[in-house]
Amino acid sequence: MRYALTIALALALPAPALAQDAGHLSHLSTGAELVAALNAGDAEAMGFVRGTVASVYHRGAQGDEAFHWAQRCVVETLMPIDQVVPYITAWVNAHPNPSPVGRFASIAVMHGMADYCTRVIDIPIPALPE
C-alpha cells in the first residue's frame, strides 16, 4: 500500500496538462508551471500562492511545529504575496530537476515563504521537510 501510493503520486505529479482544466493551475501543477504563470501575470497564479500560504499558515496555527515560523511570519508581515513571488521564482530556478514530491508547486511556495521570512524578520526556520 505504501509503495502503491508513492507510485501513484509520482505518476500523478508529472501528469500533463490534460489532467487539468485547460491551462489552469491545480494541485497537480508543478513549481515550473506556477512560475511560468506568475511570469505571465496570471491572476490565478497569485490566487494559488495565496491559498498555499494560507494552508501553511493555518497548519502552523494548528500546532504543526514544522510551520510555526509561518504563523508568526504571516501575522507579523501579512505576507505581501508580490514580495514573496521573487523568492518562489528563485527557488524554482535553483532546482531545475526536483524529486517527484519536490515538483509540487506548494514546495516552491513553502521555500519561497521561508526565504522571504528570514530576509524580512528575525526568525529562525528549521530545515524544511522534503
Which residues contribute to the site for other proteins (CB under 8 A)?
4-5, 8-9, 12, 19, 24-29, 43-59, 61-64, 66, 71-72, 74-76, 78-79, 81, 101, 104-107, 109-110, 129-130
Q: Which is nearer to other proteins, 107 or 114 (CB)?
A: 107
Cell of 18: 490534460
Quote the least distance from Cβ 74 to other proteins, whole Å.
5
The DSSP result for 93-126, as a single string, is: HH-SS--TGGGBHHHHHHHHHHHHHHHHS----P
Cell of 25: 493551475
Q: Which is nearer to other proteins, 63 or 124 (CB)?
A: 63
Quote the least distance from Cβ 97 to other proteins, whole Å.
19
Half-sphere exposure of 113 (CA within 13 A, CB side): 28
Cell of 58: 493555518
Quote the least distance from Cβ 95 to other proteins, whole Å.
15
Instruction: Please state, as a whole number, how many other Cβ atoms lie within 10 Å of the Cβ of residue 105.
Output: 25
Q: Which is nearer to other proteins, 50 or 126 (CB)?
A: 50
Quote the least distance from Cβ 40 to other proteins, whole Å.
13
Cell 499558515 sits at which residue?
Answer: 57
Return the ∠ at Cα 116 (arms to 128 and 101), rounded to 5°. 35
Q: Which is nearer to other proteins, 29 or 91 (CB)?
A: 29
